[in-house]
């Protein structure tokens, strides 16, 4: 596992849980608004896997869960084996993913290795490449459908950027994930760790209007960070 970050205690990364959060290195997207540019570029040192596992073993009576975030965790082929070691300590697992590795996700869910999945919905399908700064065809629709029917708890989340998200895109996202259990519209906060500077958040009034559009198809649509 390529791990480049460990937040030892978090009360906000997994609702209702006291977690540790592990940040894996590397991503197949390069979202200009990404806050984890150092992880995406692979600048930070690798933290040895055994150090992370030793910490989790020691804290298993205090923490109840582990969030695996990134970067994109599913790029690590040894992710299932790594999670199995953590699960065997009694932890619940939340996975943050961009949804590009459906076969890995299926492997994790079918082997009961994760308890909750949070998938980013970057934009309407037409604008996926622009929003992620990539030029590959991503099979996001199949991952969405799988998550919505796989039986484990999940959320979708979209970080709203003025330069990327229009009302039309939001209407298309509402169709794309129609009937989903939960969607969070997250406020973008610019900082020095972003991959690109000069991007703007969407204001609260507009975000509320977007949420109203989305609630017609996704009843539990919430703003996060506003
Ligand atoms: S926002 Fe997420 S998916 Fe996008 S580049 Fe950053 S880590 Fe990768």
Taking the whole predicted model, whether its pTM rises above 0.85 is answered as: yes
31, 41, 188, best to mutate for ligand 1 pocket (most atoms within 8 Å of CB): 31
Sequence-distant (6+) residues with CB within 8 A of 25 are 2, 3, 4, 39, 42, 44, 46, 70, 71
Whether the CB of 98 sits within 6 Å of ligand 1: yes
CB–CB of 194/36 below 8 Å? no
CA 38 to ligand 1 centroid distance, Å: 11
Q: Is 199 helix (H, G, I), strand (E, B) or coil?
A: coil
The minimum-distance atom of ligand 1 relative to the CA of 70 is 7
Q: Got the DSSP string for 138-193? A: P-HHHHHHHHHHSSSEEEEEEEEBTTT--HHHHHHHHHHTTT-S-EEEEEP---TT
Indicate whether residue 30 lines ligand 1 (CB < 6 A): yes
Q: State residue 216's pLDDT score.
A: 98
Q: Which whole-number Å values give the CA distances from 202 to 79, 123, 174, 210, 226, in the listed order?
A: 35, 14, 18, 10, 10
- Give the class (CATH, top level) of 3-160: alpha beta
Mean pLDDT by 10 residues, the chain (226 residues): 96 96 97 94 94 98 97 97 98 98 98 98 97 95 98 98 98 98 97 93 98 98 97
CA separation for the pair 92, 90 (Å, rounded) = 7
What tens digit of pLDDT does each residue of 75-94 get? 999 999 999 999 999 999 99
């Amino acid at each position: 596992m390529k791990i480049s970050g460990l937040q030892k205690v978090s009360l906000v990364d997994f609702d209702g849980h006291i977690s540790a959060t592990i940040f894996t290195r590397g991503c197949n997207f390069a979202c200009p608004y990404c806050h984890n540019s150092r992880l995406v570029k692979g600048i930070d040192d690798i933290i040895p896997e055994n150090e992370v596992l030793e910490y989790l073993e020691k804290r298993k009576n205090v923490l109840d869960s582990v969030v695996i975030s990134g970067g994109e965790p599913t790029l690590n082929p040894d992710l299932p084996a790594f999670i199995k070691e953590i699960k065997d300590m009694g932890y619940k697992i939340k996975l943050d993913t961009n949804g590009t590795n459906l076969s890995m996700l299926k492997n994790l869910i079918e082997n009961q290795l994760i308890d909750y999945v949070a998938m980013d919905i970057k934009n309407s399908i037409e604008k996926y490449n622009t929003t992620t700064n990539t030029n590959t065809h991503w099979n996001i629709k199949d991952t969405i459908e799988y998550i919505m029917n796989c039986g484990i708890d999940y959320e979708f989340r979209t970080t709203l950027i003025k330069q990327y998200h229009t009302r039309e895109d939001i209407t298309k996202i509402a169709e794309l994930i129609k009937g989903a259990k939960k969607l969070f519209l997250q406020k973008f906060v610019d900082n020095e760790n972003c991959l690109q500077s000069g991007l703007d958040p969407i204001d609260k009034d507009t975000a509320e209007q977007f949420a109203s559009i989305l609630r017609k198809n996704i009843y539990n649509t919430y703003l996060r960070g506003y």
